[in-house]
Amino acid sequence: MGSVAAVLNSRSSGILLPVFSLPSNYGIGELGPAALRWLDFLHSCGQKIWQILPLNPAGFANSPYQSSSSMAGNSLLIGLEGLLEDGLLEKSDFDGFPPGGGNRVDYDRITKPRNILLRRAAGRFLADGGTRDYEIFCAQEKPWLDDHALFCALSQRFATADWISWPSEFRDRRESALISAEKDLVEEIATERVLQYFFQRQWSALRRRASQLSISIVGDMPIFLSHSSVDLWKNRELFHLDGNGNPMAVAGVPPDYFSATGQRWGNPLYRWDKHRETSYAWWICRMARAISQFDALRVDHFRAFADYWEIPASEPTAVHGRWVDGPGEDFFRALEDKLGPLPIIAEDLGILSEKAIALRDRLALPGLRIFLFALDDYHGGSPFLPENFIENCVAYTGTHDNATAFESLFGPGEESSKRLALLKKILPPKYSGAHPIDGAIAWLASSRARWVIFPMQDLLHLGSEARMNKPATVVGNWSWRLDNGQMESLDRQFLLSIAKR
């Protein structure tokens, strides 16, 4: 099994920042010129890695981990500025468009006006006859694009992506119903194809620029999908669903120190026996597209490939579940046989079984080291202390699911004070003269870890107002944004010193 070193083959530092968090004038971070300017900024700071969150369409509560498609891009991230430069939008089209500043994405306010402009641009593109490049895109991506476009069109017709609530002939994909829908929804289907083309074109331009600047982009693959997704609608036999398409077993994690009832995520689980019978064909297609889009890929909840918590769908919490064996090494070998070495980072946080640890190590996959975890459970042998990092790992101050470093150290309450005191005690003297967060960042950069990646919020010393996600909550997540002033306020010399270390 190839390691990420095949792609990122030298010690490198970088920044974690989702696309939707980029500065822009249109309410949400987007692809196009704004993202290209971000790459130039990274380059000016000596950073070689840009890590993002999933690019697929966001689902319930705007979560990128509850996607309606494993293959499509999130059209809300298409750069309006780029469409304006391409002549597909005019300045007058933006009359009445809501102001786009601030440090939060207001999804309720921006989604409708952005969709209006996106569909207007798509209509003009089609009215002009499209392009040869667009025709090639549609032909190459046909195996997933046609079903995705039809699913989106039907979701609009029935005002919901919850396909089990659709009329039975559409829920069950009867051929006559689908043929009829393709005739009735020609415009809607064509529009979605064009939007995916816009997304792919802008993303490809971004990848080219990143390559020119020697910046590697690390993507993120959620292991599970939303029930309201085209993947489940099309491939019911590959998931634990009953005859009507309802989930029979769902994903989550059992009760632990943090939650007496565990976490019931609700995503339908895979029928791994059925995937094995098809030689993992669906996964091979999914992985092939993902690794074509990124230089390396963080795979979420890696443990589930070894063993996972299965919860009966009728259970309201995660208490009454059971551990079930995952597909294991056979799965990864099958993917490698078709796709070659997989540039994968294993998200191995939480309580890992011996089976999961052994699987990660047999595959020689780098895992994660989260420094803030060392302050909550401090002991000399903690794997989250920089002095104990191994080379084959990716180190972070924190993740998108954690409180920011500033909130952890300077927030209200006794626990924050304890963490700060501990950090000051254990920080090596050569880093103790700096701000404690900067000292920790420098310490990580000097560790054995091959890659160190820092959430932008930690570099800016931002607190709870900038937290990206609070697990087990659904309000206010996935919405923090960076503004241009904050980006320019970063100490570039400090970031250059991190890159040098």
pLDDT in tens, 399-408: 999 999 999 9
Contacts for 184 with CB less than 8 Å, ≥ 6 apart: none
Handedness of CA 175, 180, 186, 191 (dihedral sign): negative
Q: How far apart are CA 402 and CA 183, in angstroms?
A: 48
When pLDDT is averaged across residues 306-311 and rounded to a whole number, the result is 97
Assign 378 to helix, strand or coil. Answer: coil
Q: Residue range 211-225: average pLDDT?
A: 96
Q: Mean pLDDT across the stretch 44-55?
A: 97
Report pLDDT digits (tens) over 464-484.
999 999 987 889 999 999 988
7: pLDDT confidence band, cut at 50, 70 and 90? low
Look at residue 5 in the predicted model and tell me its pLDDT: 45
Closest to 171 (Cα-Cα) out of 213, 105, 228, 95: 228
**Which whole number is the average pLDDT over 288-308?**
96
Query: Would you give the distance in Å from CA 90 to the centre of its chain?
Result: 32
Question: For residue 3, is pLDDT > 80?
Answer: no
Q: If you average pLDDT over residues 349-372, what whole number do you get?
A: 94
Q: Name the residues annotated as catalytic.
A: 300, 347, 401
User: What pLDDT shows up at residue 258?
Assistant: 65
pTM score, two decimals? 0.96
Burial (CB count <10 Å: 0-12, 13-18, 19+), residue 70:
buried
Q: Mean per-residue pLDDT for 104-124?
A: 97
The dihedrals phi and psi of 152, each to the nearest 5 degrees, come to: -65, -40
How far is the first Cα of the chain from the last one, in angstroms, to the nearest whole number? 29
Residue 463 pLDDT more than 90?
yes
Q: Could you say which architecture CATH assigns to the domain 4-366+450-500?
A: Alpha-Beta Barrel (3.20)
Predicted pLDDT of residue 8: 57
Res 61 pLDDT > 60 = yes
- Percent of the chain beyond pLDDT 90? 90
Q: What is the average pLDDT across 219-245?
A: 97
pLDDT grade for 256, boundaries at 50, 70 and 90: confident
**How confident is the prediction for the chain on average, in pLDDT?**
95
Task: Give yes or no for residue 423 having a pLDDT over 90.
Answer: yes
Give the 3-state secondary structure of residue 427: coil
β-bridge mates for residue 368, sequence order: 394
Choose the weakest-confidence range: 109-118, 250-259, 368-377.
250-259
Query: For residue 478, what are its two tokens?
Result: 């996935």
Distance CA(8)–CA(219), nearest Å, equals 13
| Pairwise CA distance, residues 97 & 80, whole Å | 12
Joined tokens for residue 359: 């699987």
The number of beta carbons lying within 10 Å of the beta carbon of residue 175 is: 8
What pLDDT is recorded for position 1? 43
Q: Which two tokens stand for residue 137?
A: 């895109």
pLDDT confidence of residue 277: 98
pLDDT tens figures, 125-147: 999 998 999 999 999 999 999 99
According to the model, what pLDDT value does residue 127 have?
97
Domain boundaries, the chain: 4-366+450-500
Question: In terms of Cα–Cα distance, which of 306, 348, 310, 353 is closest to 331?
Answer: 306
pLDDT of residue 471: 85
Percent of the chain with pLDDT over 70: 98
Q: Are 461 and 435 in contact (CB under 8 A)?
A: yes
pLDDT at 2: 43
d(CA 470, CA 475): 9
| 339-365: average pLDDT | 94
Residues 73, 203: contact at Cβ < 8 Å?
Answer: yes
Q: How many CB atoms lie within 10 A of CB 403?
A: 18
DSSP 76: G
Q: Write out the two tokens for 71.
A: 């293959």
**Could you please report the per-residue DSSP string of 66-132?**
S-S-SS---GGGS-HHHHHHTTSS-GGGGTTPPP--SSB--HHHHHHHHHHHHHHHHHHHHHTT--H
pLDDT at 260 over 90: no
Question: Does the pLDDT at position 257 exceed 80?
Answer: no
pLDDT confidence bin for 376, thresholds 50/70/90: very high
Amino acid of residue 186: V
Collect all residues with Cβ–Cβ distance below 8 Å to 401 and sequence separation of at least 6: 468, 469, 470, 471
| Per-residue model confidence as pLDDT tens digits over 316-329 | 999 999 999 999 99
Burial grade of 52 (CB within 10 A; 0-12, 13-18, 19 or more): buried
